[in-house]
Amino acid sequence: MTGALWSSAEAAAATGGVASHPFAATGVSIDTRSLAAGDLFVALNDTRDGHDFVTDAFRMGAAAAMVSADPPGLGSDRPLLRVGDTLDGLRGLGRAARERSAATVIGVTGSVGKTSTKEALAAALGAQGQTHAASASYNNHIGVPLTLARMPPASQFAVIEIGMNHPGEIAPLAQLARPHVAVITTVEAVHIEFFADEEGIADEKAAIMAGLEPGGAVVLNRDNRHFERLAAAAHAYGVGRVLSFGTDERADVRLRAWSTEGWSTRAHITLLGRELELVLATPGVHAAQNACAVLAAVFAAGASPEAALPALAALVPPPGRGRRRPIVLADGEALLLDDSYNASPPSVRAALAVLADAPGVRRIAVLGDMRELGARGEEEHRGLAGPILAARIDHVFCCGPLMRHLYDALPAGLRGGYAPDSAALLPIVRLAVRPGDVVLVKGSLGSRMGPLADALAGESKGGKS
Ligand SMILES: Nc1ncnc2c1ncn2[C@@H]1O[C@H](COP(=O)(O)OP(=O)(O)O)[C@@H](O)[C@H]1O
Ligand SMILES: [Mg+2]
């Protein structure tokens, strides 16, 4: 980035804070592990107190630090932006960044597929104008204001992911982001722990419309069983433009036909009478559906769906999100489908459907616990037995207390092995894998399936394998 993102005067005005010295920050950081020289370091009081890291931040070249108390021992020449509350301060930066921007903003929420859709939108719009989007899944009360605070003033498009775990979280984030286009990818029983039912989740997703700019559009999934409820919510929120996507013949952006060839997907899409041929380097109908949401949002944002197609074709899945990696064995190679970053019932079903069509000698699923399902955990895990049978999978390996319920529900012939955690499961899987196998690894981040996938692929984050 060239030029300042935040001058001390702008940052003080945005936060209601007082700058001890003038400064010009080229970025915003909340974590010294990823801080870049020139950043404004925001000392948040989160899992750790960021004020303990202010000295480190300056050592790493921070331009200034936003604090609610002066860190002891800090040189008096260090530029501080003193505020009452640093999270409020970060929100102030986010709000001001949004206000000074002329960008067309797209907000993305939904039970599954937010980050995939955000990445695809960033690529599709990035091919057509300067586009700002977070590099990761920054979708909560910290991630959303941080992403906005980092938005360069010259951005023409911005894509903001908005997530939630609890009722009431989406509306304030949407009101900060003020999207011109809101996308609800789908509504499923994910993060259901704090909700009575799926309808409650649908209503929470609908709350993204509380932040929609006047004249804005909402993009809804026509195939989702909550479509009518969301369309009614759009009416209630006074949203005049609803664009729907999906395989349903009434969809505005309709997925008419698709086929998976090897590891890519071809789709024929009709967008309000325009015929589009889509190629994706990602297998699975869910990827084609996400692409339909992207094309609808691109259209609603006033950009070109046709110009988005080459950018979508060039997308490759990020690490741990369905990326393919070789497993080198003494006598040949197997293929790892590394989807270890995240798991929920709909995403495991989508991954199993991909595995079903995978070109391999044997199809193997290695599954860790899906978290945040509350009281439905056992039932949701057991419920994967059906999709596993339908996908003609040869062997299933499971780890974690919840996956035990699935493992016990599987026919004996499918059971490859069980262990309490991923570290203990690794040697069991290693012994079983043979050349030509396709091995899906999937689980919630907390199930630590990532290290298992890295070890299978012969790499560990520590450098040795
Ligand atoms: N439309 C979809 N339906 C089912 N699974 C999906 C869909 N889109 C993405 N996924 C899968 O869900 C998981 C999480 O995807 P991600 O885009 O990170 O979602 P989120 O940001 O909502 O958590 C990944 O395994 C991904 O492949
Ligand atoms: Mg995400």
Instruction: Please write the tens of the pLDDT for every residue from 242-257.
Output: 999 999 999 999 999 9
Q: Does domain 6-84 have CATH number 3.20.20.80?
A: no
In this chain, the answer to whether the domains covering 6-84 and 323-456 adopt an identical fold is no
CA of 191 relative to ligand 1 center, distance in Å: 13
For domain 101-313, the CATH class is alpha beta
Q: Which residue's CA is minimally distant from atom 16 of ligand 1?
A: 113
Residue 228 makes CB contacts below 8 A (sequence gap 6+) with none
Q: Which of 160, 347, 367, 440 to mutate to test the pocket of ligand 1 (most atoms within 8 A of CB)?
A: 347
Pick the atom of ligand 1 nearest to 119's CA: 17
Q: Is the CB of 140 under 6 A from ligand 1?
A: no
pLDDT-derived band at 460, boundaries 50, 70, 90: low
Question: How crowded is residue 183: how many other Cβ atoms within 10 Å of its Cβ?
Answer: 32
pLDDT tens readout for residues 80-133: 999 999 999 999 999 999 999 999 999 999 999 999 999 999 999 999 999 999
The pLDDT of residue 464:
33
Sign of the CA dihedral with 344 first, then 345, 350, and 355 last = positive
Q: Looking at per-residue confidence, does 285 or 465 come out higher?
A: 285
Assigned token pair, 311: 């950018």
**pLDDT at residue 371, as a whole number:** 92
Q: Tell me if residue 149 falls in helix, strand or coil.
A: helix
pLDDT of 300: 98
- The most distant pair of C-alpha atoms in the chain lies apart, rounded to whole Å, by 70
Rounded to the nearest angstrom, the distance between the alpha carbon of 275 and the centre of ligand 2 is 30
Residues lining ion ligand 2 (Cβ < 5 A) are 114-115, 137
Where are the chain's structural domains?
6-84, 101-313, 323-456
* Interval 185-199: pLDDT, tens: 999 988 777 888 899
Q: What is the mean pLDDT of the chain?
A: 95
Q: Cβ(338) to ligand 1 under 6 A?
A: no
Q: Is 113 in the pocket of ligand 1 (CB under 6 A)?
A: yes
- Would you say residue 331 has pLDDT above 90? yes
Residue 360: the pLDDT is 85
Q: Average of pLDDT values for 71-77? A: 90
Share of the chain above pLDDT 90, in %: 87
Burial 131-144 (b: 16+ CB within 10 A, else e): bbbbeebbbbbbbb
How much is the pLDDT for 254? 98
Residue burial 404-437, b: 16+ Cβ < 10 Å; e: rest:
bbbbeebeeeeebbbbeebeebbeebeebbeeeb
Q: What is the pLDDT of residue 462?
A: 40
Q: Mind listing the pLDDT tens digit for each residue in 139-165?
A: 999 999 999 999 999 999 999 999 998
CA angle (25, 18, 211) in 5-degree steps: 70
In the structure, what pLDDT confidence band is assigned to residue 425 with cuts at 50, 70 and 90?
Answer: very high
| Residue that wins the pLDDT comparison between 136 and 408 | 408
Fold (topology level) of 323-456:
Protein-Tyrosine Phosphatase; Chain A (3.90.190)
